[in-house]
Amino acid sequence: MDFLKHHYELPSALPTLPMPDEPSADFTQLKDFLGDAVKVSSAATLGGRISVIETFDHNDFLIADMILSGRDEIRQLPLTVNAFTIAKKRYRVILINRAPYSNVPASRMGLNDDEWLEKSRVIRLHHECAHYETLRIFGGMKNHPLDEILADAAGQLAAFGDFRADRQRIFFGLKGDQCDGRLSFHCKQLTTDEQREVYKAVDEALDLLEAPINAAPDHFARLKLIACRSIEDVLGGRHQRAD
């Protein structure tokens, strides 16, 4: 039930936004290792500016993930996963890879390959910036369905100008209580029956969130709208646990 009840508490004293920048790290070692296969920049968020590392190949992305996370071995990730906000003691950094978002083909989005790759980059960057904002403003971030809705909403709005529930279902690979895409990665520790409960609840919540997300007056209002209400709250108690 944590997957349906999880939400963030609004701080009693909100910080001045945008927040001051955190110290930035030196990514020279990564540049030396990957050379022209990596681009280093930064992005402005409500949580302050954050460094952004962009790769252009999934294998380079996996290598960068290993180096930035301080691991000795590459971890294998599905092609639907091409971004992380990495929070280390010494630094925080966004790592993104240039690839179709959620491994969705351009034809399914009604775009040509170049258009979809650029929109994918915009979605991915704003998605990770939203995770960083919840970390700094609300004190946490999770690989959780609620966090993924919040982050993808920011990405959809930046890339398309609106949030659509059906578009989100495509990104999640979601069809009712079944999922064959990215959302399954974030629910992999659950049993099959528990996964189906979460998928069904998320599917219902997306329709209920579409209008409020699009009507929010600004980005921070949208963050509060999603982050401070659980999926269970969005459903208004209509969710019933399957026995």
- pLDDT per residue as tens digits for the range 72-91: 999 988 888 899 999 988 89
Cis peptide before 18 (omega within 30 of 0): yes
> What's the pLDDT at 238?
61
Handedness of CA 231, 233, 9, 129 (dihedral sign): positive
∠75-147-10 over CA atoms, to 5°? 135
Q: What is the pLDDT of residues 19-52, one digit of tens each?
A: 999 999 999 889 888 988 999 999 999 999 999 9
The whole-chain average pLDDT of the chain stands at 94
Q: What is d(CA 219, CA 63) in angstroms, rounded to the nearest whole number?
A: 33
Q: What is d(CA 193, CA 41) in angstroms, rounded to the nearest whole number?
A: 42
Output b/e per residue, 200-238; b: 16+ Cβ within 10 A. Answer: bbbbbbbeebbeebeebeebeebbbbbbebbbbebbeee
First to last CA, the chain: 13
What average pLDDT does the segment 214-241 reach?
A: 90
Predicted confidence band of residue 242 (pLDDT cuts 50, 70, 90):
very low
Q: What is the pLDDT of residues 118-176, one digit of tens each?
A: 999 999 999 999 999 999 999 999 989 999 999 999 999 999 999 999 999 999 999 99
What average pLDDT does the segment 99-121 reach?
A: 97
> What's the pLDDT at 239?
55
Instruction: Indicate the pTM of the whole model.
Output: 0.94
> What's the pLDDT at 237?
60
Q: What is the pLDDT of residues 173-224, one digit of tens each?
A: 999 999 999 999 899 999 999 999 999 999 999 999 999 999 999 999 999 9
Nearest to 225 by CA among 204, 203, 207, 210: 210
Q: What is d(CA 165, CA 175) in angstroms, rounded to the nearest whole number?
A: 12
DSSP string, the chain: -HHHH---PPPSSPPPSSPPPPPPPP-HHHHHHHGGGEEEEEE--TT--EEEEEESSHHHHHHHHHHHHT-SSPPP--TT--EEEEE-SS-EEEEEE-S-GGG--HHHHT--HHHHHHHHHHHHHHHHHHHHHIIIIIS---SSHHHHHHHHHHHHHHHHSS--HHHHHHHHTEETTEE-SHHHHHTTTS-HHHHHHHHHHHHHHHHHHHHHHHH-SSHHHHHHHHHTS-HHHHTTT------
> What's the pLDDT at 243?
41
> What's the pLDDT at 29?
83
User: Parallel, antiparallel, or unpaired for β 38-43 and 50-55?
Assistant: antiparallel
Q: Which two tokens stand for residue 160?
A: 């398309």
Amino acid at position 18, single letter: P
Indicate if the pLDDT at residue 108 is higher than 60: yes
